[in-house]
Amino acid sequence: MALTSQIKTIAVIGAGQMGSGIAQVAAQAGFQVIICDNRSEGLNKAVQGIEKSLAKLFEKGKIDEHPPAILGRIKKTTQLSDLVSADFIIEAIHENEALKKEIFSQLDKIMPAHVTFASNTSSLPITRLASATLRPQQFIGMHFMNPVPIMGLVEIIRGHSTSNETYEITKLLSEKMGKVTVCSQDYPGFIVNRILMPMINEAFYTLMEGIANAEDIDAGMKLGTNQPMGPLTLADFIGLDTCYAIMKVLHDGLGDSKYRPCPLLKKYVDAGHFGKKTGQGVYKY
């Protein structure tokens, strides 16, 4: 297995909001980065987003290196076969277990034995994803928070067979990317979503039961508990489809009715109102 000093190239699979953020912070940390997505327009959009974010950070003096130099370390590809030179893989596609397993199974066949596989999944079991490969010791959860360039945390999830060495390498890599890590065992929702999502779900019950309107629920929690955004605004920002999917994982995986997804949250999802990304959620954008 590669030591962190031997890790030169990081491959990121998925060029959405999370994948592009991870590619950005990896390049900022000095790694060569290959970002892979089967949609070339998605790759172009990701690079434009990274360019904008780097310009903002540079303007504020939050990074010293000139953005074009950082961007120069990021290569794009639509082919998994182009990732063979990478030393560490971070998968950040949408939460589709079958597709994630298919990608990891393909990579397992083509990637050299020393390469570690990490998934940015926010709720799928790491142990189950690892079972798609013949390297479960070198498989780990590496859960970044959104927006990746700003948020200070990586939640590391140890699967059933994850080795200590894989954990140590992932922790050091996360720290090189400027993040603090916390370690979670592989149970539904890990740490952050196990605690965050029931709060968001409860905010939807509070709204559904007519206890208060959305603005008051958000202002109450934002100003009353010193959170940067209220829970309904945060849900729109994360994506109501994602929040609903995570609540289902908690409900199914823990079997306790206290995790039942709020019917109002489901109604928004049924309507296709996923939040900021679709222009409509609890609020209009």
Total binding residues toward ligand CAA, as defined by CB under 6 A: 19
Candidate segments 52-60, 134-142, 174-182, 258-266, binder of ligand CAA by CB under 6 A = 52-60
Q: Are 155 and 143 in contact (CB under 8 A)?
A: yes
Of 20, 119, 120, 155, the active-site residue reads 155
52 is in an annotated binding site: no
41 contact partners, CB below 8 Å, separation of at least 6: none
Give 122 or 201: the residue with its C-beta nearer to ligand CAA: 122
Q: Is 155 a catalytic residue?
A: yes
Output the CA–CA distances (angstroms, integers) from residue 156 to 33, 170, 175, 190, 193, in the order listed: 21, 8, 12, 9, 13
How many CB atoms lie under 10 A from the CB of residue 268? 23
131 is in an annotated binding site: no
Residue 57 engages ligand CAA in binding (rule: CB under 6 A):
yes
Residue 228 engages ligand CAA in binding (rule: CB under 6 A):
yes
79 is in an annotated binding site: no
- Give the C-alpha separation, 250 to 260, whole Å: 8
* β-strand partners of 153: 180
Produce one character per residue of 24-36: b if its CB has 16 or more CB atoms within 10 Å, e if not.
bbbbbbebbbbbb
Q: Is 143 a catalytic residue?
A: yes
Residue 17 engages ligand CAA in binding (rule: CB under 6 A):
no
Residue 93 engages ligand CAA in binding (rule: CB under 6 A):
no
- Give rounded-to-5 percent helix, strand, coil for the chain: 50, 15, 35
Give 87 or 236: the residue with its C-beta nearer to ligand CAA: 236
Candidate segments 56-64, 84-92, 126-134, 167-175, binder of ligand CAA by CB under 6 A = 56-64
Longest dimension (CA), the chain: 57
Residue 192 engages ligand CAA in binding (rule: CB under 6 A):
yes
Residue 146 engages ligand CAA in binding (rule: CB under 6 A):
yes
Candidate segments 2-10, 90-98, 128-136, 228-236, binder of ligand CAA by CB under 6 A = 228-236
Residue 20 engages ligand CAA in binding (rule: CB under 6 A):
no
Integer-rounded Cα Rg, in Å, for the chain is 19
Of 143, 163, 184, 201, the active-site residue reads 143
Candidate segments 91-99, 103-111, 134-142, 190-198, binder of ligand CAA by CB under 6 A = 190-198
Q: What is the sign of the dihedral through the CA atoms of 40, 91, 197 and 126?
A: positive
Residues belonging to the binding site for CoA are 53, 60, 122
Supply the residues annotated as catalytic. Answer: 122, 143, 155, 193
